[in-house]
Chains A and B, each alone.
Chain A
Amino acid sequence: MIEIIEHTADIRLRITAATREDLFREALRGTIALLQPQKGEREVQCDVRIEAGDPTVLLVDFLNEALSNAHARREAYDDAAIWSLTDNRVEARLLGTEAIAFGDDVKAVTYHEADIRRDAHGQWYTVLVYDI
């Protein structure tokens, strides 16, 4: 689930999911949706492998990698096949379609306020602040 929370200059999302893998996939969808891609027909994929010091940094770095690739390759990812996910490493294939254009810009996913937690119902969640 993706909720938008008010922020004066930028965009803040709260992402919630049943598993940590789903949290990564949902956050990916939320991030790319902010770009408002105009999608083409051609299907695309992009393999990524990220290592980081902790799970939260791993998520932010994963999303920034996806964002960089989306901009550079003009691709809109709406899902990921996550092959391996530990506290410090993620290997995944980003899946989507070519992007003919983007309607909005996202400069980066920031580390500010990002903190992966589990709530009392076992749901995984984090807030993400984007520089737009």
Chain B
Amino acid sequence: MEKRALTKVHDWLWEIPKSYRPDMRVPARVYTDEKMLDSILGDRSLDQLINVATLPGIRGWAIAMPDVHEGYGFPIGGIAAVGSDDGVISPGGIGYDINCGVRLLRSTQTASSLRERLPKLVHSIAREIPSGVGRGGPLRFKKNDLDQILRDGATRAVEIGFGTDEDLDRIESRGAIDGADPKFVSDHARGRGGDQLGTIGSGNHFVEIDRVDRVFDPAFGIEHDQVLILIHTVSRGLGHQVATDFLRVMVGTMQRYGISVPDRELACAPFRSPEGQQYFQAMAAAANFAFANRQIITAGIRRAWKHELGDDLEVIYDVAHNVAKIEKHAVGEVLVHRKGATRAFPGQPVLIPGSMGTASYVLMGQQGSMEQSFGSSCHGAGRVMSRTRARQQVTATELRDRLQKLGIVAEAGSSKGLVEEAPEAYKDVDAVVDVVDRAGLAKKVARLVPIGVIKG
């Protein structure tokens, strides 16, 4: 795509008009500064965003956040709100990582008080929380017990001893999305991921011990030099299979509903159709599995924390960035697809994980997000370098040395997994967050820097 196809709305927002392509139903908008726009134009993110603008029932705009990058079907960092009565639901608009999300915990420690004990603490957490490819956890649930997790999410995890009611008050939707129905989660999905509760997985998922490096706006009880814990993980193999199962269903049934899409990964069904409802109920069940997963991981971290330091940890917030939810906005009731975008309702904590060795952010949702982005913000730094290229450019030894010089203790299941997530593989998270702050979507509360990293 050529830059001249975009119109500058203001310093932080660019628009591709509906007239750009005849099949667009709404304009496409990207929140970015001019420098990052040049980088965004380097891949096919915006072509994919234009494809999203063709979805039946889409309202307002197809929206991309500054961390947008090329995916398949939807770009990562994309938002599409469709009418709940006349719109479609697209599994590709949520992705295979259903309810990939972030949880933030507060400790009573400061970074300076923790320095000596950090290596032992990181090791202790890594022992409590299994990580790595396809890795199952110690918990085994019978079908009925798993069904309860799928229906009630973190609420069920608390009922069986993983946490407290106070935790639930600080989780998006109290850790359980309404409408989940376990009967639409296939045996394949249960076989693939049913034993993975309490595990991080691999790729860009991690547990991070962070130091509050800077406070921009005192909120959520966050103070300078405080130690916080960030958990970034997902519904694991169970969610991957739910997405695969229903993409297959929708590829096979779109024609019956007279729907055609420019990319099969945008396969969809009317939200009110049997296929649309079944996917929504299965997706909600997988999302609940992810909320329960982060709840059970929290319990493991608390055990390690208690053992090493004698302290407890408090949940600050837990929010998804890959999910579809029914919400009321100025255009009426809509189904908001967020694929690599974080809900950012006014006053709500918005958690933005960065890459190892750089920074993560806590933001606060602003009224501007309701007016401009269907209550959404960015979700991370956004990849700019392929994993293959990262492996070619960075060695594990060099990266470990670099992290050590920055005072970061890292435990990774594999060197390959470590180098693929090297900081240079990602955009500048400070610049990404600046855009959403200046555009009025979410304001900066605190900048966090890692001191300990546990990943698969």
Given contacts A8-B385, A132-B387, contact A112 B192 (CB under 8 A): no
Across-interface contacts of A4 in B (CB, < 8 A): 388
Q: A111 contacts B251, CB within 8 Å?
A: yes
Q: Known A6-B388, A72-B188; judge A112-B264 contact (CB<8 A).
A: yes
B240 touches A9 (CB 8 A): no
**CB distance A7 to B386 under 8 Å?**
yes
Residue of A nearest to B96 (CB): A107
> 8 Å CB contacts to B: which residues of A1-35?
4, 6-11, 35
Interface string of A58-86 (1 = CB under 8 A from B): 00010010001001111000000000000
Contact A68 to B386, CB < 8 A, known contacts A8-B70, A112-B72: no
B347-384, CB under 8 A of A: which get 1 and which 0? 00000000000000000000000000000000000011
Given contacts A8-B69, A103-B414, A111 and B265 within 8 Å (CB-CB): yes
Closest Cβ–Cβ distance, residue B202 to chain A (whole Å): 5
Residues in chain A near residue B414, CB distance under 8 A: 103
User: A15–B112 Cα gap in the complex (Å)?
Assistant: 54
Among the 9-residue stretches B55-63, B79-87, B241-249, B289-297, the one with 4 or more Cβ atoms under 8 Å from chain A is B241-249
* Chain A residue total in the interface (Cβ 8 A): 33
Q: Contacts A71-B237, A111-B247: A104 and B385 contacting too (C-beta < 8 A)?
A: no
- Cβ proximity bits B388-405 to A, threshold 8 Å, 1 near / 0 not: 110000000000000000
Contact pick for B95, options A61, A103, A131, CB 8 Å: A131
Q: Which residues of A contact B387 (CB under 8 A)?
A: 11, 132
> Is B73 part of the binding interface, using a Cβ–Cβ cutoff of 8 Å?
yes
How distant is B8 from chain A, measured CB to nearest CB, in Å?
25
Residue on B nearest A64 in the bound complex, by CB: B244
Query: What's the Cα separation between A71 and B133 when bound, in Å?
Result: 10
Q: Which residues of B contact A7 (CB under 8 A)?
A: 70, 386
How far is A112 from B243 in the complex, measured between Cα atoms in Å?
A: 14
B97 contacts A by Cβ under 8 Å: yes
Q: Check B69–A71 contact: CB distance below 8 A.
A: no
- Which residues of A sit under 8 angstroms from B384, Cβ to Cβ? 8
How far, in whole Å, are A35 and B202 apart by their CA atoms in the complex?
A: 12
CA A61 – CA B193 in complex, angstroms?
19
Q: Is A102 an interface residue (CB 8 A)?
A: yes
* Contact code string A94-109 (vs B, CB < 8 Å = 1, else 0): 0000000111110110
Known contacts A68-B188, A71-B134, A101-B133; decide if A111 and B264 are in contact (CB<8 Å). Answer: yes
Interface status of B17 (Cβ within 8 A of chain A): no
In the complex formed, the residue of A with least CB distance to B97 is: A107
Q: Is the CB of A105 within 8 A of B251?
A: no
Partner of A108 from the list B96, B255, B264, B385 (CB cut-off 8 Å) is B96
User: Is A45 in the interface zone, CB < 8 Å from B?
Assistant: no
By beta carbon, the residue of chain A nearest B76 is A9
A61 touches B386 (CB 8 A): no
Most buried by A among B76, B188, B263, B386: B386
Is A116's beta carbon under 8 Å from chain B?
no
Leading 10 A-B pairs by shortest Cβ distance? A112-B72, A111-B264, A72-B191, A107-B96, A107-B240, A112-B265, A110-B72, A105-B133, A102-B133, A72-B192
Listed in ascending order, the chain B residues whose CB lies under 8 Å from chain A are 43, 69-73, 76, 95-97, 132-134, 188, 191-193, 201-203, 237, 240-241, 243-244, 247-248, 251-252, 255, 263-265, 267, 383-389, 414, 416
Extra A-B contacts (15), CB below 8 Å, given A107-B97, A111-B247: A8-B385, A9-B69, A10-B71, A61-B248, A68-B188, A68-B244, A72-B192, A72-B237, A105-B201, A105-B202, A105-B203, A107-B243, A111-B73, A111-B264, A112-B263
